[in-house]
């Protein structure tokens, strides 16, 4: 499985780079490492939600592990269950 470490501050300034990284990994199982994330902005979360939905639609594993406490807290503050970012195939 392809692994991608997320940057500590995942905000507007990093959205383009994240989108490009996700596009480069389309069509293959993907695991994201959010263990070092200290800040997650709304656009970063939108990209991750869209990627999770895309991978799910293709029937491919998509997971975010490990996840920092700050990552999970930010996701929850946006009203999203952090486990919603996992595809059933990744479980």
pLDDT score for 2: 58
pLDDT score for 86: 87
Place of tokens 């993907």: 30
Q: How many domains does the chain have?
A: 1
CATH, residue 15: 3.30.750.24
pTM confidence score = 0.92
Q: For the chain (length 91 residues), average pLDDT per consecutive 10?
A: 88 95 95 97 96 94 96 96 81 55
The alpha carbon of 3 is separated from its chain's Cα centroid by a whole number of angstroms, namely 11
What distance in Å separates the CA atoms of residue 39 and residue 11, rounded to the nearest whole number? Answer: 7
The domain of 66 spans 2-90
pLDDT score for 62: 95
């Amino acid at each position: 499985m392809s692994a991608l470490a997320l940057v500590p501050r995942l905000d507007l300034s990093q959205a383009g780079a994240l989108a490009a990284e996700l596009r480069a990994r389309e069509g293959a199982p993907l695991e994201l490492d959010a263990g070092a994330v200290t800040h997650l902005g709304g656009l970063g979360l939108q990209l991750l939600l869209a990627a999770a939905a895309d991978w799910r639609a293709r029937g491919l594993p998509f997971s975010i592990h490990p996840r920092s406490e700050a990552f999970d807290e930010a996701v929850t503050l946006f009203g999203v269950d952090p486990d919603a970012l996992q595809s059933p195939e990744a479980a």
